[in-house]
Each structure stands twice: as C-alpha cells, then as structure tokens.
Structure 1
Amino acid sequence: MRRREFLTLLGGMATAWPLGARAQRPRKFPFVGVLVSASPPHPFADAFWRGLHALGYSDGENIKVEFRYTDLRSDRAREYAEELVRLSPDVIVAHYAQAVSAAMAATRTIPIVMAPHGAPLQLGVIDSLARPGGNVTGLSGMDAEIGGKRVELLRELIPNLRCIAVLAATLTTTPYSGPFVEDLRLAVTRAGLRFEPILIPGPSEFRSAFATMAKAEAQAVIVVPFFDPHQVILVELAAKHRLAYMSGSRDATAAGGLVSMAANFPELYQRAAFYVDKILKGAKPADLPVEQPTKFQVAINLKTAQALGLAISPTLLARADEVFE
C-alpha cells in the first residue's frame, strides 16, 4: 500500500524524506501526532492549537504537530495510527473513542492522550480515573454517563413522555454503542418509561430505524455521537415522524433537532494540550489522572419545539446555554 512522504524542515529548506528515514533522524523539538475521528475541517485543530499556544508552543519553532483525519472510518483510523507510530512521535493525541482504540492497537509504549473518550472506564481503556495505568491518559467526555441527565431533561420538555428510543451503531461497528445504550437503558427504566433501542450498521438503515421508532410510539430519540456527521438527514427523519431529536451536538440542534446536551467539547480539545505539555516535560501517562467535565451544555431549538407542540417553560429556557429561535 502506498504511504505518503512527509516534509521536514532542515536548515531552512523543505526536504522530503521517506517515512523510515524521518523516524531515525534527530529532532530539534518534540513531535506530536494527532488522530481526529472526523473529516476536515473540524474544530478540534483550532482548539488544540489554542491550548498549545497558551502553554508557549508554536508550530515549527518549538513543536511539530501533524494531523490525520479518519472520516470516522475504523480502517482509516487503524492505518493512520500505524503511520503515526512509524514516525516515532513523542505523544499521540487521539480524538474520540475510535481514534483512541486505533492508537492503543498500534502502540503500548508511546504516550496517548484521550481528547476526549466518552467511556474510558466502561471500555477498559484505563484502570481508574486517578491512576489510568498503561500509556493512556487524558480526558473523559462522560458522554456515556449522563443518561440520567438526558432523560430528566426530556421529561421537562415533554410532560407526557412515555417512550424514548435510542439510535446507535451496532457493537461491531463501534463498541462505544454498548456503554452508551446501557447507560440510557438504566436511566429510562429508573424513570419508569419504555425504552426502544435501535442498533444499526450504518446510514442505509436510517429510514427503517425511524419507521420502527414510530411504530413503537416513541416520542423522543437520543442519537449516539457516531452518527453526528449524518445529522441533516436524521433531523429530517425525526421531523417527519414527529420525534423529539436529542443528541450531544449543538449543530444538530441548530439544524432542527429539539435539544442537545454534552460537555463543552472545544474546552476539552483545548485541555488536551495540558496533557501533552506534562508528558513532554517528563510525566508518565499512568500517573496523570483523567479529568472529567463538571458542566454540560444544553441547547434548545424553540422553532422545533413549537412544531412538536411543546411549550418550553421560561425556567428551562433560562437554564439553557443556547436557544435557537
């Protein structure tokens, strides 16, 4: 398979070197490889650079950073993770669960910074928050741990709520669906509501999935982050079946979803630079505690609420971080 050649700055001139040669050449400053579970452009890069700049790092002056974008493809994540490992980076920054898994499969020695991972404890990525163990540390987005908060919010939005569906990928597509769906199942059951889990392999099943939800008389659907790139068609299908659409993406809410709840991800992306700095200065990943968010942002779309016949209380609107009208 063809591999790219990367340019390295040497003596003020850009010279192309094969991958193997670059890994063996001495560096004047640290090299960080970044694996992003998305397609470019993505807000991760800008936020991460803000964090590095705040700590005194500047690309080409005292640090070198190279990004790889997986387009949410697991095969590409594995390929690029292996590619980065061959370049012998000082640190690998892995954005979201898919990238973390690929980086862990590629190396057990190079430090890996989760930026963030949604369920690192549940999926066995770390031993504990306080002492992660191994070569992985960083940030938890807690996206698979706030099912209770999401259900509570939906009950405030929909007073007669009886049934909640979840749309997730199959476990063979992404293991992250396991803890995400289980967290919601427990929360929905505790609330005394019916739960309709829909696990599908990919976008080709979207239409049948929403038809199944409608047949089950679900009133709301919570969508796993894995499907965020398809939010336009998903929001359209939710509107067609009069389902309240909930996700962790404020962009989906802006596009017509009812509500979103999630950590402030740009802040987490920026905070990843803190871990990179600590590791470059000699800290071991195993000894750096994993951080969790303490606040979760809520966005509400008033126009969508009106289309669904929902009256949002002034108290709830005042608590929202963002309201689309």
Structure 2
Amino acid sequence: MKILAGATLLGVAPKASAQKVKSFTVAYLALLAGEDRSFAPNFLRRLDQLGYIDGKNLHFVYRSAEGRPELLPGLASDLIRMKPDVLVTGFGTVAAKAGKAAGNGIPVVFMAVGDPVGAGVVASLARPGGNVTGLSDLAAGIQGARLQLLREIVPAASLIAAVLNPGTPYAALAYRELETAARVAKIELRAFEVRSPEEIAPQLEASKVAGAGGLAILEDPFTFSQRTEIAAAASRLRLPAIYGYREFAEAGGLMSYGTDHGKQWRRGAEIIDLILKGGKPADIPVEQPTTFELVINLKTAKASNITVPATILVRADKIIE
C-alpha cells in the first residue's frame, strides 16, 4: 500500500505543476483624467477575451497624470521600476514619449499617436525598431475628408477656422494636411490657437469676427479634455464645427469623423497579446486606422439652427437626437 501511495503521489505532482498559471503585469500610463473610465475598459475587456483576467493571470497597474504632462516622466519611471511585461501608453504623443524614455528595454505599446515617426517615437511605421510599437490615429487624407463634410454644411463659406493647440506635435502635421486640402478646395484656412481653457471662448469668438463660416477642431489631449466647453462655445456662436472623435459629438459637438476609439483600444490589446506570446515590438508594424465613423448630433444642429444635408445624414454611422 505504501508503494502504491508513493506511486500515486509521484503521478499527480507533474500534473499539479503543469496547472500552474503564468501571470503577467501590464502597466498603463495615461495623460488624460478619466482615461480609466473612457478608453481603458475597452482594452481590458479585450484582454479578458484573450484570456488575460485581471486578478487571476493578469496584474494591471494604472497611473494617470490627470491632464498634467509634467508628471508623466516620473509616473513612467515608477511603472518601469515595477518591471512590467508591457508598458501601455494611452491617448497622445506626450505619454508615448515619456514611456519610451523610461522604457529600459521593456516593451512599450502606444494606443494613439498622431505622428509617431515625426515625433521620434518610432523609426518608421513598417519597422518601428527598438522596444516601441503601437497604433496611430492619423490616416492620409482624413483632414481633407473632414473639410469636405464641413463644406457640405456651409458651401458658401470662404473662410474656415482651424482651432488647435500649437503645443502638440500632431497639431502641426494635421494643420499642414488641412491647409493642403483647403488650397485644393480654394478656400481660406486660418489657425486659431488654444493653449488653456481660458482661451477657448475668445478664440472661437475671434474666428466668428474674422468671418469664419465653420470650424475644424484639431484633436489632441487638451482639446479632447475641453470638448464640452469647445462644443458649447461653437454652438452658442452658431458655428458649424467638425471634430475628430465621436466623444466630441457626444459632448455636444455638431459632427465628428474619425477613428473608433473602442476598436482602436481593443486592437491595442491584441498587440499586447502578441508581445506576451513572445513577439518583439521592433518587428510589429505601427498600425494606422482604415475605417472611420461619422457621428451627427442633430440636437446640436437644431439648437444652433444649422441644417445638416440629407446627403450627410444618410452616411452617418450614428445620429444623436
């Protein structure tokens, strides 16, 4: 009996060892306040579907600068000291650059950088190099498509105002593309810069005084964080405006055309999965969006006495009424 008992114990030991589950640590660095509620849940749900369950085989660590970019380097260093398997950087270029600088060989995946090559985050889209890869939310021609949508609402406008934060690397690139599209359309484009919440209303009012028939709001972490205020000012001035993300339209903006962030963050989780299974960031190309969503806020249109043509409404992916 003793021999049999020993044999039984020897038989189960390897099985128990084989059942031991490997655990991974994924750290998330955010610039925006509330990113854990707006963007990160899509990411975590997709990780869960892929088999990474927080509290079981996944340790998820979240840190946010709450809209203060100067805090990002310190937060990134703190996360790297935890030696995560992957460091994720959320919305914006500044978070990605802080993550890369602190990286110390740990894989870094950025969720939304407008111009990762121009900002020096990666060497190229096809071959990122180093320990960084991720997703860009800028695609060729997107600014031209937004301008065309805006012109369908205000076909007689001779001046369009571009509202942008000049402190963001993406803004310069997006403005150049918008400028090219305006030149082709033979319409004047003028920049109105906003760097703080206090500048939003005065700058939008200045664009109205200058004769702007519509607004193109160039998205970045600052304008995104102030989307409700920007949308309210545009509506008060009865200026038709187009924005980059659906969150702007949901906050009261007239119209948005751009990347579906839910899909983007879910795709980011799939890239994390590739890395946790042994993939190297240097060999994983940076992905650009290929599908876009058009959202129309008819409540805002009615309140601002703006007519949205049927030709736009039939193309909308979502209409807010």
1:315 aligns with 311
- The answer to whether 1:49 aligns with 2:47 is no
Which of the residues 27, 32, 37 maps onto 1:33? 27
1:236 aligns with 232
2:16 aligns with none
Check 1:145–1:39 CA distance in 2 against 1; reply closer, same or farther (3 A cut).
farther
AA paired with 1:159? P
2:149 aligns with 153
2:209 aligns with 215
Cα distance in structure 2, aligned partners of 1:151 and 1:94:
30
Check 1:149–1:121 CA distance in 2 against 1; reply closer, same or farther (3 A cut).
farther
Cα distance in structure 2, aligned partners of 1:283 and 1:35:
21
AA paired with 1:105? A
Which of the residues 235, 256, 261 maps onto 2:257? 261
Task: Give the deviation of 1:36 after TM superposition.
Answer: 2.0
Structure 1, residues 232-270: CA drift from partner, whole Å, max 9, x if none?
Answer: 221221123221122123233233321011111111111
- The answer to whether 1:63 aligns with 2:58 is yes
2:7 aligns with none
Task: Give the deviation of 1:28 after TM superposition.
Answer: 5.4
Q: Is the 8 A contact 1:134 1:286 kept in 2?
A: yes
Cα distance in structure 2, aligned partners of 1:74 and 1:118:
17
Q: Is the 8 A contact 1:119 1:143 kept in 2?
A: no
1:170 aligns with 166
**More helix by proportion, 1 or 2?**
2
SS at match of 2:26: strand
- The answer to whether 1:189 aligns with 2:183 is yes
2:196 aligns with 202
- Stretch deviating more after TM superposition (115-124 or 208-217): 115-124
Cα distance in structure 1, aligned partners of 2:154 and 2:32:
32
Larger radius of gyration: 2
SS at match of 2:314: helix
Q: Is the 8 A contact 2:252 2:300 kept in 1?
A: yes
Cα distance in structure 1, aligned partners of 2:53 and 2:119:
35
Cα distance in structure 2, aligned partners of 1:157 and 1:203:
27
Cα distance in structure 2, aligned partners of 1:137 and 1:248:
23
Cα distance in structure 2, aligned partners of 1:255 and 1:50:
24
Query: Residues 78-157 of structure 1 correspond to what in structure 2 (within 5 A)?
Result: 78-96=73-91, 97-142=93-138, 146-157=142-153
Q: Is the 8 A contact 2:259 2:293 kept in 1?
A: yes
AA paired with 1:212? A
TM-score, normalised by the number of residues in structure 2? 0.86
Cα distance in structure 2, aligned partners of 1:283 and 1:160:
52
Q: Is the 8 A contact 1:164 1:195 kept in 2?
A: yes
SS at match of 1:298: strand
2:68 aligns with 73
Q: Is the 8 A contact 1:158 1:310 kept in 2?
A: no
Which of the residues 275, 278, 301 maps onto 1:279? 275
SS at match of 1:251: helix
AA paired with 1:284? K
SS at match of 2:63: strand
AA paired with 1:207? A
Task: Give the deviation of 1:307 after TM superposition.
Answer: 4.5
Give ranges in structure 2 of 5+ residues lacking alignment. 1-20
Cα distance in structure 1, aligned partners of 2:153 and 2:171:
25
SS at match of 1:78: helix
Cα distance in structure 1, aligned partners of 2:304 and 2:33:
32
Structure 1, residues 166-216: CA drift from partner, whole Å, max 9, x if none?
Answer: 111132xx3232212222222222211111111232112112211221121
Structure 1, residues 31-64: CA drift from partner, whole Å, max 9, x if none?
Answer: 1111123212522221011111121111122221
Cα distance in structure 2, aligned partners of 1:184 and 1:162:
15
Sequence identity (%): 37
Cα distance in structure 1, aligned partners of 2:67 and 2:182:
29
Cα distance in structure 2, aligned partners of 1:200 and 1:258:
19
